[in-house]
Each structure stands twice: as structure tokens, then as C-alpha cells.
Amino acid sequence: MEQHLKNALEALGKANYADYFEEMDKVEMPKMLIFQYNDLKNKFIHGIAQLDNTFNGKLEVFAKLLEETCLAENKAFLDLFPAENLSFYLNKVIEKFKQWQDFFVHIRVNKQVTLLAREITTSSSIREGTVEELRDVISQNEKKMMILGEPGMGKSTSMQYLTQKDAQKLFDTNLKYSAENRIPIYLELRYVDNSIFDLIKEEIEHYLDSKETDITKTVEKMLSEGMFSIFLDGLNETIKDKSYQIAEHIQSFYKKYPNCVYLISSRPQDYLLRPFVQMPVFNLVPMNKAQQQEFLDRNATLEIQTIIVEKAILLPNLEHFLAVPLFLFMLIRVVERTGQVPKNEALIIGAFLEGIFLLEQKKNVLFNQLQTNILLAHLAKQYFQDYNGNARVPYSKVAKYLREKAQIENFALNEEAFLQKMRDLQILDMSEEYRYAFKHQLFLEYYFGIDTEIEL
């Protein structure tokens, strides 16, 4: 182990964070780890990090990752994508999935039920199975598939799960690439305003062989050879006035690079507006009564189950709601907090968000739930008005929306602090380019509904 790295770990063992960072500064940092290191260091310098076991663990994990980087000896995988670089990339993919699992930090699901997808076809032979099973079949033949599902059915969860599973599979096979072991690339289509090629290039260019002078040619070769499984998530979340253009671009892309495997997700109604030619389409099947009960058994006490089942019988309009995993997550948490079953979907989502905000108020007495709802409702209105959907909006424009509303309502606002808090609460999401979107389109639609009601 490099001496400065050894010294840093010894300092960490004594909880001497200043010496840890002083020693780490002396280590030659690989480019791919600089951003992560600077993030940890800045949190310490600016007093953002809580100096507890969690932060200590992150520093230790980073030091060990750096050690693996510095001492990596396995360079035998691919000339285009060196083995050690691939390891770092795959670790990033797996870490992103772990973050995704914490999407609803206030919902801790013990275990989900296995959902099925059914092919939409005029053929008498209809394929059905889990998304993973169907993807494995598709990979051998058509190499592309569309996954449709209503809000909360688990489209993004399925895509993220398969992305990390592909990453883990490459680790399990000692980074041996094959037609069954492709490199996963996950892209959220709401963040697509450049070409897919450029986005893939941006995703992996820092991990490619540093001796390569023409990265574009390298990526072109990897795509042509079919080295990737490409996950394009959220066709329904593209900017509406660009949706047809993006759909056409996706189809042109997979025709140009037919050897890669493609999974695309969308809501049914959005896909029907721009159907893809010669692509198998599968619809996620809502949970049946037995699956709903299984889900409740795994995630709710008997008392909560009884309340939900008894009250839901009196509210037939909630029947569809209970068949959707995300909605059932929310309802369980609402009933745990209030002992009541709200009468409709909007009230359930609102009560769920209220629970998040009440927990925040217990931690921070200055947190203002009413102001938060007013600002988010205004933000949702502007997203629909200016972008017609859940687009990624630059920080400067989002801050302007918030500032204008705060001035109208006559209350003080620190836009940066507000946006950070909404990210912490998993209401908003920020891309690496400091562009903001609602974490889930359901939140955008809920707050747009609130703003409309206020205006009416």
C-alpha cells in the first residue's frame, strides 16, 4: 500500500479527519475519482458532513477503492475498456442502484412481490414473464424491447435493477465480456437533449484507455460490436415538443447499432402517440388480489392490513390504486401514521408527502410545510407551462421561478438551501449539470393539480 494512503487510514482510525485529507492530497488521484474525493473533502471543510461512523465508513471505503485503483494489476480484459477502469465504472453503476433503492427514504420495503410483463401483440403466441426473463430472451433475438407501465408500476425500478444486475454479472464472471455479459448503460430520457451517442460517450469516456486519442472512434467501435446493454428510461418524461424527435432519434440509433441490446420504458398513453416499428412491446401487469395480500404480508402489520382491506372495500375507486406497488407503499405509510385511508389517489399522495414534511419539521422547527407546498406547486406549474412536462431545468431558471413566487407571497427564501432540502427529501432530483427535475413524475402531476386548485 502507498505510504500516504497508509498514513491516511491510520489518521482515520484516530478520527483525525484533517490529517486524513492532508495525506490523501499527496496521493496521485485517478481522474475518475477526483470528483468523488473533492465532494467528500468539501463536505468536511464546509462542515456539511456529520463526523460520525457513517462518514468515517465512506472515507474508509473511498481509501480502499483508491488502493484498488493504484494497485490494480489486471489489465487483460479489453483493449478498449481496461479491466480496472471497467471495475470502477461497474462500481459506480451498482452504487447508483443503491442510491435508487433509497429513493423513498421514508419507505423501507421489506420485500416486493414478483411482477410480470405480458406482450402486447396480435399473434396467438403471447410471451409473458418477469422483465428479466423476457429481456434474456429478447437479447438472443430481437435485441430490443419496450416496457410499458402506469405510474408507480416499477418501470424505472426494473430498469435500474437490470442495470446493476448486468454490472454485478460482469464482476461475477471476472470481467469477461460476452454476448451474455454486456456493459450496462442507463440513461434517463428526461435528461436527453443531446444525441444518445454523445450521452454514452460522456458516461464512459473517463474510463476508456487513456492511450486512445480518438474517443469518438472508440465508442463507435464498441457500439458497432454490440458491447452494451442500453437502458433508456422514461420516454414519457421527454420534453413534449421534442418527444417525436427523440423517439425518431432512438429508432435511428438502434438501427445504426443493431448489435447492442435496448430496453426502453414508457407510460402506455405516451407510447401510443409515437409507436416504435418492429419492436416487441410488453405491459407490466398490475398486482392481482393474491399479490396485493402477499405485498401487505411482507410490508405491513396485521393491524395496518386490516384497516386497509376494510376501508378499501368501501372505496371501490381505490381498487386500481391498490394494484400498483408504489401507491400501495404510500398507502401503508399513510395508514401507519394516521390510521385512515384517504378517499382518492391525490389525497393519498398528499398525505404521504405530508408525512415526509412532518418528519422534517420534527428535525427542524424552521421548516415551513405551507411555504414548501406553495413553492413546489408553483414550480410544477412553470414546468408544465414552459416545458409541458418533467424536463430538466437549469438551476438559474428554477431559482428564478422560486424567487419570483417568494416575492409574490412575501416570504424570505434561500433558493439554494430550498433546492438542497428538496433533494434531501427526494422530492426533486439534480443532474451533474445542475439541472433540476421532480424525482417522480407523480410528484410533478400532484403539485400541478394543487396549483390548479389554488387558482380555481
**For residue range 102-129, what is the model confidence (pLDDT) as tens digits?**
654 444 444 556 778 999 987 778 899 9
C-alpha closest to that of 128 among 136, 118, 138: 118
Confidence at residue 297, expressed as pLDDT on a 0 to 100 scale = 93
Share the mean pLDDT of the chain.
85
**Residue 13 predicted with pLDDT over 80:** yes
| 6-28 mean pLDDT | 86
Name the least confident of 69-83, 317-331, 343-357. Answer: 69-83
Q: What is the three-class DSSP state of 283?
A: strand
Confidence at residue 360, expressed as pLDDT on a 0 to 100 scale = 94
d(CA 248, CA 228): 20
C-alpha cell at 440: 417522480
C-alpha cell at 346: 391525490
Residues of the chain with pLDDT > 70, as a percent, come to: 89
Confidence at residue 432, expressed as pLDDT on a 0 to 100 scale = 74
Confidence at residue 71, expressed as pLDDT on a 0 to 100 scale = 47
Burial of 13 (0-12, 13-18, 19+ CB in 10 A): exposed
Q: Of 126 and 69, which is predicted with more confidence? A: 126
**For residue range 273-301, what is the model confidence (pLDDT) as tens digits?**
777 878 999 999 999 999 999 999 989 99
**For residue range 310-321, what is the model confidence (pLDDT) as tens digits?**
888 788 888 888
Contacts with 147 (C-beta within 8 Å, 6 or more apart), sequence order: 117, 131, 155, 158, 159, 263, 264, 265, 266, 282, 284
Confidence at residue 77, expressed as pLDDT on a 0 to 100 scale = 40
Which domains can be identified in the chain, with CATH numbers? 3-71 (no CATH), 96-284 (3.40.50.300), 289-363 (no CATH), 369-455 (1.10.10.10)
Confidence at residue 49, expressed as pLDDT on a 0 to 100 scale = 81
Q: What is the pTM of this model?
A: 0.74
Name the least confident of 17-26, 29-38, 323-332, 447-456. Answer: 447-456
Confidence at residue 106, expressed as pLDDT on a 0 to 100 scale = 45
C-alpha cell at 76: 487483460
Q: Are 152 and 269 in contact, with CB atoms under 8 Å apart?
A: no
| 81-87 mean pLDDT | 79
Confidence at residue 260, expressed as pLDDT on a 0 to 100 scale = 93
Label residue 213 by pLDDT band (50, 70, 90).
Answer: low
Label residue 216 by pLDDT band (50, 70, 90).
Answer: confident
Confidence at residue 217, expressed as pLDDT on a 0 to 100 scale = 86
